[in-house]
Amino acid sequence: MKWLCLLLALGATASADPESDADAGFRAAEARAVAGDGGAIDAFEQVGAARPVTRWTDDAWLEAGRLAERAGDYARARKDLQEAISTATDDQLARRARGELAIVEHAAGAGAEWSAVAAEHDRLERELFAGDPKPAIAALENLIAANPKYPRVALVMLLVAQGLARDGDADGAIAWLRRAAEAADARAGDASARDARGPDAAASDRTYVRAELVKALVRAEQLDAARAELAKLDAPPVVTEMRREIARAQRRALIRWLVRGLLVALLAAAAIALRRAAGSWRAAVRRLVRPPGEVWFFAPIAAVLAVLAGTGNPMVAHAVWAIAGAGVVVAWLSGAILDAARARSGRVRLARAAAHAVLAVAAIGSAAYLAVDHDRMIDLVVETWH
C-alpha cells in the first residue's frame, strides 16, 4: 500500500512538472523581454515548442510573434503567430493572435514575401526622425522605385513627404502626399488588398494619408485645395476634425493679416520718426548706413543662435533665422532713431524712451509670431508649452 501511495505521489508530481516548468520559462522569457534582451524571442519559442502542451504554450507563441514583429522579422512573426492560433485554447487569445497576424500580413504580405522590404521601411522610418532627414529621404525614394507593389507603399511615400516637410520643402511634401493618396486609393480599391484587421487596413491607410494631405494643405494656407481633398474622405470623425483644422487656419490667416498690418504700420512710423529726428530723408539714410551700438551688441548673439539652430530641425532653424533677422532690423532702426534724437535734442526723454521700447517689443513680437506661425510651427510651440 505504501508503495502504491508513493507511486501515485510521484505521478502527481511528474504531471505537475510541465506546467511548473512552462510557468518558470515564460516568466524568465518575460523578464528578458522587459530588459530588451534579443534572445527573449528564442526563450518564448522554446516554451511554445515544449511538449506536452501547457496553458503557457499559446501565450508564449503570441509573445514571440509580437516581439518578432517589433524587431522587423515578419517571416518569424508570421510563423509564431500561426503557432499561437493553432495551439490556442482561449478564444480571446486566438482573436488577438489573428489580429496581430493580420497586421503582419498587411505589412509584409500574406506569405511574408515583403518581409525584407518591410524591415527596411521600419528602419528608415526610425532614421528619418533621428537627425538630418536627407539620407533617409533618398533611401525611401529608392525603396519606392524598387518596390512599387509593396502593400504599404503609400505609407512610405507619406514618410518621404514628412521628411521633406521637416527639411522645409512644403511644396515637395504636398506633391509626395498627392502621390501617396493616389497609391492608397488604388490599394483600397483592390479587393485583394483587404485583410482581417477589423476595418480593412487598406481603407484605413487611405483615410490616414488623405488626412495628412489635408493637414499639409492647411499648413501651406491652400484652404480651397484642403476642402477639395476633404470632400474625398468618408470617415465622419476625421472629416469633423479636419473641418475644425480648416476653421482654425482661417482664424489664423486673419490674425496673420492683422500682424502684418501692424508691422507695416510700425515700419512706417519708424521711418517717419527717423526722418523727423534726423531732419531730412538724406540725413536719415546717412544714419542708417553706420550700424548703431545696439546692432554691434545684438548681431553676434543673433549669429550664434542662427548657427546653433542650423544644426537641428530645419523648420525650427528657419523660424530662428527669421526672428534673429527681425531683431537685427529692429535694433538697427531703433538705435538709429535714438541716436538721431539724442544728437538733435541732446537727450532722450524717459517717456519717449519707454514708448520707443514698447513699440520695438511689439515689432519683434509680431515678427516672432509670423515666424513660428509659418508651416504651423506654432502648434509645436503650443504643444511644448503644454
Q: Please, which pLDDT band fits residue 190 given cuts at 50, 70 and 90?
A: low
Pair 50, 18: CB distance under 8 Å:
yes
Phi-psi region of 199 (alpha: psi -120 to 50; beta: other; left: phi over 0): beta
| pLDDT category of residue 7 using cuts at 50, 70 and 90 | very low
Residue 139: C-alpha distances to residues 107, 121, 135, 176, 182 (Å) = 19, 9, 6, 15, 21
Residue 13: pLDDT over 70: no
Question: If pLDDT is split at 50, 70 and 90, which confidence band does 332 have?
Answer: confident
Least confident of 108-112, 158-162, 184-188: 108-112
Q: Which three cell numbers stand for residue 8?
A: 501515485
Of 11-15, 229-233, 348-352, give the lowest mean pLDDT range.
11-15
The answer, yes or no, to whether residue 308 has pLDDT greater than 50, is yes
Label residue 174 by pLDDT band (50, 70, 90).
very high
Nearest to 156 by CA among 187, 112, 189, 197: 187
For residue range 47-105, what is the model confidence (pLDDT) as tens digits? 999 999 999 999 999 999 999 888 888 889 989 999 999 999 889 999 999 989 888 88
What the chain holds in terms of domains, given with CATH numbers, is 16-107 (1.25.40.10), 116-234 (1.25.40.10), 251-385 (no CATH)
For residue 189, pLDDT over 70 is answered with no
Say if CB 47 and CB 60 are below 8 A apart. Answer: yes
Burial class (CB in 10 A: 0-12, 13-18, 19+), 176: buried
Q: State what percent of residues in the chain have pLDDT above 90.
A: 34
Average pLDDT, integer, range 134-145: 95
Q: Please give the average per-residue pLDDT across 312-328, as a whole number.
A: 81
Q: At 377, which helix (H) or strand (E)?
A: helix 377-385
pLDDT over 90 at 187, yes or no: no
pLDDT at 369: 86
Residue 200 reports pLDDT greater than 70: no
What's the pLDDT at 287? 83
Q: In terms of pLDDT, which residue wins out, 377 or 140?
A: 140
Please state the pTM of the whole predicted model.
0.63
User: Which grid coordinates belong to 247?
Assistant: 476653421
Percent of the chain whose predicted confidence (pLDDT) is above 70: 90
| Mean pLDDT over the full length of the chain | 84
CA–CA separation, 73 and 112 (whole Å)? 9
